Amino acid sequence: MVDNLDLAAATGYDGARWEHFQIAHLEDDSIFRIDTKSRQIAWSWLSAAEAVANGLLTGGSSVFVSINLEEAKEKIRYAREVIGALPASMQPKLVADNRHELEFANGGRLLSLPATPPRGKARMNVYLDEYAHVKYDAAIYTAVLPMISRGNVRVRIGSSPLGASGRFWEIATESMRKYPGYTRKVTPWWEVWAFSLNVKEARRLAPALTTGQRVELFGNERIKAIYANMPEEDFQQEYECVFQDETTAWITWEEIKDVQSHELLCAIATGKEKDTDAATEAIDTAAAWVNGGQIEPVLVAGVDVGRTRNTTELFVIGVNSLGYPLRLAITLDNMAFTEQEAVIAYAMKKLPILGLYVDRNGIGRNLAENLEAAFTGRVAGMDFTNQSKMAWATDAKTMIQQKRTPLPVERELAYQIHSIKRTVTANRNLVFDTERNQKHHADKFWAWALALAVIRAVTQPAQRQTVTYEENVVISPF
């Protein structure tokens, strides 16, 4: 690999260089290897490159299991780029080439699958990518081990952490039982030249420093910018290989993963500043699904309003006899209220939204009042108080525990849902919120929770006027 691959061409990055942990990975002949890693260190690319080399040199086959369909396609794209960056005389003849498979003339194959147990395949190297984030982690692991029963094949597992639970956490830390025979490697951001100003010194000094000190001393401008715009707990999990304790989270990672679905029809888009095209296209997509009978003809929605530090989020949920799947999630980033109002009004006109709750606290009041006037009886402004947030958070947790709230496999949404914590104040009041650190305010969670709150109002007539939660009374406008 080092002698023959044009690394810049293979990665699309002129400054690409081989990292020490990548060489160690390629030289590792153990049957089992697990990497606890920072995000964006090219582990997926490395796995694809190793699979290509193995296929060329030995005719061996490999299968990748990724967190969703789009990530699965990326592995094959990486493999094609690696092949194209080899000398022409070394490039293999491909007898199969599609979005999920490459097959070499010598019999070597590369298969890439979304996160489902890979059965019916044998004598293949197995790569489990972002394994902590997959839904069926235990079933996938059980299906993988028989695949390496025969032949000189191996299992490679790599992921950033996702809470102190799940099969990845168990294998990486051996906290529950021993998993013998694994090579274990932890690679935080400061061991990566793409992020760190001095890897050699950082490997020696950074472990004893705080996160802020490490970033200030060794982080490049990009890692400093990411740290400044991410809650520290999330940064530690995404970039510093920290398995965050689940005890403070209101909704756990396991509860979130239990309702995630790769097959869920959900249009996701972001509009930024004056550009509303992506948002309206997502609304049109959802409308086409409704008209085609692919999703529910009855929808409800929630809007959490932001403008400067936080984004405005519009979430639309379907209502059916089995549950309440998320069908549309739109982020409006640094967008003026006139454009925000136009996007939300477009959704109200194009989609059969029975009811919408909109945050009317502070800067959201004018937006809420305008929407209430334009869509009388369908839109209601809601006050964010400790009592109302407790009610909405309680409903959301109940529905997710009942597995009635299907969600797409979308990392940022999952993180914001998980960021909500239940704390008790000095006055013994319950508070449900994310940490106030000016980096995110769980806008996606509250938009989702508001939409779920509409369901209680429109589907339970006997409780539409007054709903009681642990002696706190919440008035529903519907």
pLDDT in tens, 344-388: 999 999 999 999 999 988 777 889 999 999 999 999 999 988 889
Q: In terms of pLDDT, which residue wins out, 362 or 151?
A: 151
Protein fold of 253-475: Nucleotidyltransferase; domain 5 (3.30.420)
Tell how many helices (H) and how many strands (E) occur in the chain.
17, 20
Reported as a pLDDT band with limits 50, 70 and 90, residue 419 is confident
DSSP-assigned letters across all residues of 43-103? HHHHHHHHHHHHHHHH--EEEEE-SSHHHHHHHHHHHHHHHHTS-GGGPPPEEEEETTEEE
Q: What span, in angstroms and rounded, lies between the C-alpha atoms of 259 and 307?
A: 30
Q: pLDDT tens digits for 296-307?
A: 999 999 999 975
Q: What span, in angstroms and rounded, lies between the C-alpha atoms of 17 and 7?
A: 7
Q: What span, in angstroms and rounded, lies between the C-alpha atoms of 180 and 31?
A: 11
Contacts of 208 (CB under 8 A, 6+ apart): none
pLDDT attached to residue 470: 38
Contact 262, 114 (CB under 8 A): yes
Q: What span, in angstroms and rounded, lies between the C-alpha atoms of 160 and 36?
A: 6
pLDDT attached to residue 429: 64
Lowest mean pLDDT among 163-177, 243-257, 361-375, 400-414: 243-257
pLDDT attached to residue 464: 41
Which of 161, 348, 151, 129 shows the shortest CA–CA distance to 239? 161
Q: Is the pLDDT of residue 175 over 90?
A: no
101 pairs with which residues across the strands?
98, 111
Q: Which residue has the tokens 């597995």?
A: 403
Contact 132, 168 (CB under 8 A): yes
Q: In terms of pLDDT, which residue wins out, 122 or 85?
A: 85
3-state SS, residue 113: strand
Reported as a pLDDT band with limits 50, 70 and 90, residue 427 is low
pLDDT attached to residue 253: 86
Query: What are the strands, taking DSSP E only, across 101-245?
Result: 101-104, 109-113, 124-129, 155-159, 182-187
pLDDT attached to residue 248: 72
Q: What's the chain's length in residues?
A: 478
pLDDT attached to residue 98: 95
| High-pLDDT (> 90) share of the chain, % | 70
pLDDT attached to residue 456: 82
Contact 62, 124 (CB under 8 A): yes
In this prediction the pTM is: 0.68
| Mean pLDDT to the nearest integer, 432-444 | 68
Could you tell me the two tokens for 199? Answer: 């890897």
Tell me the helix, strand and coil percentages in the chain, rounded to 5. 40, 20, 35
pLDDT attached to residue 107: 95
User: From the CB of residue 12, how many other CB atoms can be counted at a distance below 10 Å?
Assistant: 10
Q: Is the pLDDT of residue 187 over 50?
A: yes
| Mean pLDDT to the nearest integer, 441-467 | 76
Contacts of 222 (CB under 8 A, 6+ apart): 195
Q: Is the pLDDT of residue 478 over 80?
A: no
Could you tell me the two tokens for 281? Answer: 């296209």
| Mean pLDDT to the nearest integer, 168-188 | 95
Protein fold of 7-187: Rossmann fold (3.40.50)
| Mean pLDDT to the nearest integer, 454-465 | 64
Q: What is the dihedral of CA 301, 305, 310, 311, to 10 degrees?
A: 50
pLDDT attached to residue 400: 93
Looking at the chain, which residues constitute the CATH 3.40.50.300 domain(s)? 7-187
Q: Is the pLDDT of residue 13 over 80?
A: yes
The pairs formed by 24-31 with CB atoms below 8 angstroms and a separation of 24 or more are: 24/185, 25/50, 25/156, 25/185, 26/1, 26/50, 26/53, 28/183, 30/154, 30/181, 30/182, 30/183, 31/148, 31/154, 31/155, 31/181
Helix or strand (DSSP H, E) at 414:
helix 411-419
pLDDT attached to residue 234: 81
Highest mean pLDDT pick, 163-172, 198-207, 225-234: 198-207
CB burial class (10 A; 0-12, 13-18, 19+) of residue 2? Answer: exposed
Lowest mean pLDDT among 136-145, 226-235, 269-278: 226-235
DSSP-assigned letters across all residues of 169-206? HHHHH-SSS--TTEEEEEE-GGG-TTTBS-HHHHHHHG
Q: Is the pLDDT of residue 69 over 90?
A: no
- Supply angle C-alpha 15, 17, 20, rounded to 5: 150
Q: Is the pLDDT of residue 462 over 50?
A: no
| Mean pLDDT to the nearest integer, 88-105 | 95
Looking at the chain, which residues constitute the CATH 3.30.420.240 domain(s)? 253-475
